[in-house]
Amino acid sequence: MIDLSAKRPLLECEDVVCAYGQIQALHGVSLRVMPNEIVAVVGSNGSGKTTLLNAICGPVNPVSGTVRFDSTDITGDAIRRVVARGIAHVPEHRQIFADLSVHENLLLGSYSWYRPRVRHEAAEEVERVTEVFPVLRERLSQRAGTMSGGEQQMLAIARALVSRPKLLLLDEPSLGLAPLIVAQIFEMLAGLVDQGVSVLLIEQNSRQALKLAERGYVIETGEIVLEGPGKELLNNPRVQAAYLGT
């Protein structure tokens, strides 16, 4: 278990409030992700999970509150600046470039640091991530849109890793995938912390997410209502009744 008091958080959201016009979607959310930690945020439809990720990485500008990354205030920063600092976002529904090949999609992951003189590094980075996802190595020339849902999800995560992130934000990576594929993807996520990547995972698949995560948060109608070690939350009667169907 990571000692929260001993280290500086990698990501820290403090009292983040977000609204879409008159609709307030987050009512003062605070959370932390420590270096080399997997953190899950679970909650039902419309509870504010996607809004939270978007407030961290740019598309949604918080009305108030602070987002700090690596001790720097990044609240409201543009997406390209956030990516350059070391945050990669894998959005819901993956958003891969369907008409480009797997290889081209992966190379695009390097856009935040790519320079012609370090061109070889982009190729090396693609090589490195395909070691984590052997299925992609076999399909580098395949058009991305013709891959299965699970393969596309792996491609989206792999592309994010090519950007050399310190923190990976994942929005519902299990959505629409068979349990076996989900298990493979979550196993790979567990291995990322050994490579120095932290993960903030938002999921409706609460059981899998809380099994994987060191710590978890439960969000309901834009508020964090519970937090604690993943395993503790799995055994919490309120979580079990509301999210685990037990």
Q: Does 76 bind ligand ATP (CB under 6 A)?
A: no
- What secondary structure letter does DSSP report for 47? S
Q: Is 22 near ligand ATP (CB under 6 A)?
A: no
Q: Cβ of 22: how many Cβ atoms within 10 Å?
A: 5
Cβ 153 to ligand ATP shortest distance, Å: 16
How many whole angstroms separate alpha carbon 118 and alpha carbon 95? 26
Retrieve residue 19's tokens: 């609204």
Look at residue 16 and give its three-state secondary structure: strand
Q: Which is nearer to ligand ATP, 50 or 66 (CB)?
A: 50
Kindly report the backbone phi and psi dihedral angles of residue 113, in degrees, each rounded to the nearest multiple of 5, phi listed first.
Answer: -125, -5
For residue 46, state whether it binds ligand ATP (rule: CB under 6 A).
yes
Angstrom distance (rounded) from CA 170 to CA 53? 8
Which of 2, 17, 30, 50: binder of ligand ATP (CB under 6 A)?
50
CA dihedral 225, 228, 232, 236 (to 10 degrees): -10
Scanning 46-54, 117-125, 130-138, 233-241 for contacts with ligand ATP by CB under 6 A, the matching segment is 46-54
In angstroms, give the least distance from the CB of 204 to ligand ATP: 6
Q: Does 130 bind ligand ATP (CB under 6 A)?
A: no
Does residue 51 bind ligand ATP (CB under 6 A)? Answer: yes
> In terms of CB distance, is 45 or 246 closer to ligand ATP?
45
Phi and psi at residue 65, in whole multiples of 5°? 100, 175
Helix, strand, or coil here: 135? helix
Binder to ligand ATP among 12, 13, 37, 49 (CB under 6 A)? Answer: 49
Provide the 3-class DSSP secondary structure of residue 65: strand
* Binding region for ligand ATP (CB under 6 A) out of 5-13, 42-50, 110-118, 177-185: 42-50
Q: In degrees, to the nearest 5, what angle opens at C-alpha 245 toward C-alphas 240 and 226?
A: 30
Q: Is 43 in the site for ligand ATP (CB under 6 A)?
A: yes
The nearest distance, CB 229 to ligand ATP, in angstroms, is 22
Q: Is 47 in the site for ligand ATP (CB under 6 A)?
A: yes
Q: Is 204 in the site for ligand ATP (CB under 6 A)?
A: yes
Of 8-16, 31-39, 45-53, 76-84: span binding ligand ATP (CB under 6 A): 45-53
User: What is the size of the binding site for ligand ATP (CB under 6 A)?
Assistant: 12
23 binds ligand ATP (CB under 6 A): yes
The residue behind tokens 């309120």 is 238
Contact 130, 158 (CB under 8 A): yes
Contact 65, 14 (CB under 8 A): yes
Interface positions with ligand ATP (CB under 6 A): 20, 23, 25, 43, 45-51, 204
